[in-house]
Amino acid sequence: MIAEIIHNSKKYKIDLSKPIDISISIDVTKQKVNAWYLDDPKIFPEQFDEQIISVSEGAAVNFNSIQFNPHSHITHTECVGHITKEVHSVNKHLSQFFFFAEVVTVAPETINGDEVISKEQLKLALGNKKREAIVIRTLPNGNDKKGRRYSNTNPPYLLEEAAIYLREIGIKHLLIDLPSVDKEKDDGLLLSHNAFWNTKEDIRLDATITEFIYVSNSVKDGTYFLNLMIAPFENDATPSKPVLYAID
């Protein structure tokens, strides 16, 4: 199915039959991503009157409950409510779901023993392109990212200057294949979160950060049409399923 999109008075064609899913799922049968010192998620059938509600156990239906944390266990999209005293729900503030996005690949550089993404790296990757969303793929980029255990590993992160740069050039939606845009242990400063959402001035309530994506090496850098799908949880963060479409 071919769809025609008009953006800035130009027409583009996308093939909706060829989605590129860049989300990581919860699958309790496999080792999947995990961060922030929690146990793995659980999916289990409920019980009533000592009856396990599972077809394999003789019940009429499967009736599973799921225990997880979006920040720890799955691709998730968050709003500024993640770091504010005031309650903000990503389900209320994200009201549009289709964007032109630039996929960029960055090899974090080492500064003071940390692997970081700098402003200059993003400027080089983006050039003069103006986009609503950026999808950052970090190197190395093996399949093991979909099952990596990040707690106490000090993974790569964005420098504050990089987050400020993305905000200043108008990026509203930041997607990255890491557990956080900030350093794992930074004494609660959350410099990049605060910078991207502009919490010290005019807070960007409609801006989002999506973490724990995975962009296959088969996906080339460039411009894509992004469908940022989220689950309807009234919470600072919710599981999400970002999908890219190549643009003709």
Taking the domains of the chain in order of start, what are their residue ranges? 2-25+73-246
Q: What is the pLDDT along the chain (248 residues), one digit of tens a residue?
A: 898 888 888 898 999 999 999 999 999 999 999 999 999 999 999 999 999 999 999 999 999 999 999 999 999 999 999 999 999 999 999 999 999 999 999 999 999 999 999 999 999 999 999 999 999 999 999 999 999 999 999 999 999 999 999 999 999 999 999 999 999 999 999 999 999 999 999 999 999 999 999 999 999 999 999 999 999 999 999 999 999 999 98
Q: Is the dihedral of CA 209, 210, 216, 219 positive or negative?
A: negative
pLDDT score of 5: 86
**pTM of the entire predicted model:** 0.97
Q: So what's the pLDDT on residue 85? A: 96
Beta bridge partners of 225: 100, 245
CB neighbours of 245 closer than 8 A, spacing ≥ 6? 14, 15, 16, 18, 19, 20, 224, 225, 226, 227
The second-level CATH assignment, the architecture, of 2-25+73-246 is: 3-Layer(bba) Sandwich (3.50)
Q: How far is CA 61 from the centre of its chain?
A: 33
Question: Can you tell me the distance from the alpha carbon of 201 to that of 178, in angstroms, rounded to the nearest whole number?
Answer: 27
Q: From the CB of residue 33, how many other CB atoms can be counted at a distance below 10 Å?
A: 23
| Cβ atoms of 174 and 196 closer than 8 Å | yes
Q: What pLDDT, on a 0 to 100 scale, did the predictor assign at position 1?
A: 85
pLDDT at 135: 98
